[in-house]
Amino acid sequence: MKVIYAGYSKTGTKTMGAVFREFGYNTYDWLENCYYIGEDWKRIIKEGGTVDDFRRMYKGVDAVVDGPSYAFWEELSLAFPEAKLIFCVRNEQEWLRSMINQLKQLDCDWLFKIFQVFSYTGWKYFSFSQIAEPIVVSPRQRRWPWTKYEKNPVVLKQLYRNHNASFLQNAPKDKLLIYNFGDGWGPICEFLGEKVPDKPFPHANKEASLVKDWMQSNPVMKRMMRETMFSLGVLTLIGAYGGYKVYQNPASIRGWINAAMTRFKL
């Protein structure tokens, strides 16, 4: 592994992921952590893990961003001592507004919720999120895809402060870059030994556009979309066939209802 972005959620994780991919790095973000190694993460969060676990999970991965990776930056550093660390701190009130806005956007995105119900990959995502979200973005576990996020500002700020304070106190300074996104390519390229790309510096997840961005470019999200379309197509065909059979023989549905009422003594 080449680099760990240890900044908290909503401190430019999606932008940093775009930067690493521009360098050609195999990068694991939230969706990749979920799809490829979600079961490992669920076990680690519940039971703990070893350095060997992390080495196995991230074999062949060049960079990690976002949760739950940043909450385990120390374990990842032990597993990959050659990996450099990049970190960013936003103004607390600005960060809080951004985080709450992101959670509100996810609450309102019913298409994404549908993916989590009618897609196997989407259900994997929700199962993973149930375990990982409480330690990184929300203090309460969601029981269903349509459950809204808890947005307690006091608790959210405490999670953010605790992570930042712990990291800044314990991170090894000899392999650390404290980064300001306004500085563009220069500091990151110098720190990682990469050539400055001949293109503007990326700015991802603007105005909490996370799900929209995923739908446009992320292969895991595109898989969710395909699976959902297939599932809904199958259900539509089953419903149409059932409706046709009832239309052909209306008495059959009455017989089924009568049998059910007799069986359950209604």
Give per-residue pLDDT as tens, 35-73.
999 999 999 998 988 999 999 999 999 999 998 999 999
238 occurs within a structural domain: no
pTM of the predicted protein model: 0.84
Nearest Cα neighbor of 225 from 151, 87, 124, 116 is: 116
Instruction: Domain count for the chain, please give it.
Output: 1
CATH number for the domain including 217? 3.40.50.300
Average confidence (pLDDT) over 19-30: 96
258 occurs within a structural domain: no
Q: Are 181 and 78 in contact (CB under 8 A)?
A: no
84 occurs within a structural domain: yes
- Angle between helix 250-263 and helix 219-248 axes, rounded to 10 deg: 100
* Structural domain that includes position 158: 3-228
**Mean residue pLDDT across the chain:** 87
Q: Is the pLDDT of residue 175 over 80?
A: yes
* Between residues 5 and 249, the one the model is more confident about: 5
Cα dist. 47→41, 44, 131, 134, 186 in Å? 10, 5, 12, 15, 41
